[in-house]
Structure 1
Amino acid sequence: MKHITVFCGSRVGASEAYKDGAILLGKELVKRDITLVYGGGSVGLMGVIANTVLKEGGNVIGVIPKFLEEREISHLSLTELLIVESMHERKAKMADLADGFIAMPGGPGTLEEFVEIFTWAQLGLHQKPLGLLNIDNFYDPFIAFFNHMAEQQFLLEKHRGIMLVDSSPAKLINKFYNYEPPAVKSYLKEDGQI
């Protein structure tokens, strides 16, 4: 586990606990010699975690689309800043660089990034661990919705376990080391027919 991609908000949120959680996660990454990969911004929880990792002597790779970089919200002190053409390219690059993924509290963009990477795992496009850092129970309603999808048979039980959850950065990363991806989803029967 050398690189972890973190999805998080471009705002700090209503609770001081979110900022504190970003600081704890940043320190934990440095303690384990894990490079932070993230969206390249200098604002919100994105800026907090990047600043923490840099302050603690760690490495940070930011990936930002050109249109956001041009708005001058990119972080100018990163170990490396990769400028890409689109949001799609950004997500693909962040996925390629990652050995695992963590979603911290954030808005629709954070959820969209996490759900896409979850779906890729479900389809067998990667076998990397992914988890929710459930600071101050932020993700409880989201977790309940995933449970509802499973209960209503839109999510296989074996795929529900793709989403690792903890409120502690250290415990969540520990779960990454023990993660075993589920078998790849298939609609084909043994004879190759649908």
Structure 2
Amino acid sequence: MKLDSKYFDKIRVKPSAEKKVADTIPQCDWPDCPRPGRHKAPMGRGHEGKFYNYCPAHVQEYNKTYNYFSGMKDDEMQEFQKNSRLGDRPTWKLGQNATPNASNVRRRGAQLRDDPFGLNIGAAKQPGRHPSGRALRATELKALQTLGLDDTATADQVKAQYKTLVKRLHPDANGGSRANEDTLKAVIQAYDHLRSSGFC
């Protein structure tokens, strides 16, 4: 490209643009400091997202004395740090509060209302759980689907459905036809799996 080209002049930064950038830099927020405040420093707890603008010397001085927890008691500070590690979400010890009782509902009413994934509802209403409260494995759910049942089926319903399907699919009931042989095998394997897993 030639230095005297008309295109070269169009991409060159004009000196006036540099002056405008310098004019947009705020003055240092430190009292009686005339220098430009190019460095941001957080204002502190309760002012999240807000910053001071300091020059390099004053931002270093501010950082040496900055304490996010100033004015907090030790137990409040520890509680804040614990909640921050957990993402400010409620937690319980393993095996406790599995289902909300009346006192838990009163104590955690706001948490239950703000529960888009249904994590705090009773065990009987959770998908993948049997009405008895027993968690169903994926293989058990698949076996129930093979038998044409859903996850709310009881052991008696499984046995009755198994007998019905075997009578309907057996070659003796179909005049010796083996067209349903694969389906019959799948039904028998599904029932055997549910029996061996203790479902029925």
TM-score bracket, shorter-length normalisation: under 0.3
Which of 1 and 2 has greater Rg?
A: 2
Give TM-score scaled by structure 2 length.
Answer: 0.18
**Structure 1 length normalisation: TM-score?**
0.18
